[in-house]
Structure 1
């Protein structure tokens, strides 16, 4: 729908489409929430069962599975966090902010047939979650028939039950709670609306004294910059050979040989100690310099160790 109106795949040329394509924005928002496993949509139900199955690995007798459970939990948590960041970027850059191109400024809603198709898929995301207590046992019977394993209780009434664990979740109740959460703030906003209207003025967005430009809006590259810093090693897909570095090292080696020889104690004792100390300090400097990637690695490593200790 978006590509048909803007004629581009470049997210940096979109923006402010929620005002111009409201139905598309609503359907896309539901899809983003579902794929990010936000309750009470279908993505949350499937991920909740996945988490419960990983927790159940702590009760099996195989030590390998007990150790694999915490590692899989960390991987699933990282994957979920990356998915949330990805779709926050996708929806925010595409539908919010200011338009970044002429096509975005002139965009219009798609035809009704496309709107119906998108809303149908969004409705399925909600209906599958609300009917999970009925669908989950059906899927369990199919899995039992294919794998020939003992059946597992996955639902009890309208509640979802992860086998023998003493936990459960009710999607319909979650939906009611989520709908009721904005009720009190909404009533407060309606009560204060008339009182604040007399003191409200509409003007341009504040840009620290500069005139506002659409280019000042957050970009997709800016939103994902923290991830690009953390996973910068994965983006090094190509290494280029620079012969000047090797030539410089060769010349430095030749000139070092041409220099006068130091006394025995300086050459054999003091210099190796100084060199080893400098190398060690250079390595330790990475721990002290405040590298965000190392801090994330510490947290993940500590979490893995704690989960393995609990599982064992």
Structure 2
């Protein structure tokens, strides 16, 4: 008698599947079956496995497409045990994917060629490389389509982007094996060459905690270009202007609104000699450096936890 088992029970496309056949002698026979078992997988390969000391043979394949596949295992028999066959099935589902997106250069200038690259990867337990197309949707710009190469990457280029921030996402359409997916959005910033920037800082306070330490609960600054557009993804550095010299408080990256924020900054008592702080942007290709200052005030009460 031959029985068939499949593992895992619910595989996905590109995942290795193990098919086993257990061959046992039917009473009153007591011989341990030896020899080989032929596995025929509908829509898949035909494989051969050798019985071990317990009468079990297993084969593995990662070449099964999405859908249900009938499996037949045939034992040819040996001198003491007659041949037999068993059947089963395996249902393979679509594999999940993840799509990531990058652009270069970023920032860019109006009319400059910008290249967008999407990378589509199979998520475990699936293996293999997705195929098919990726659609790139650019706010205020064209919608482009690229074909995945052998490395799972699709690349498109455009020189049609106008000044300002553009939100870009890449959507993979899927194929017979892999399900579609959409990338997180990125911001492509297009600026006029040499455009000036402005940093606007907001007033901040120094507070006392019950444990005797000093903390600045929050400080923030906003970065904008000459047209007052926010500039996301830029690093702003915060420095307290103390009587003993500048004290670096930290840095943060601007969000979609162009605002960078530091929170719960533990500081040395020397910061009490500072009445202002400065938020600075070091500049970038096409963007001039800039800075802005705001008041930094000690507020002794109420005491914070």
Q: TM-score, normalised by structure 1?
A: 0.17
Larger Rg: 2
Structure scoring higher RCO (CA < 8 A, sep ≥ 6) equals: 1
> When you count strand as a share of all residues, which structure comes out higher?
2
> When you count helix as a share of all residues, which structure comes out higher?
1
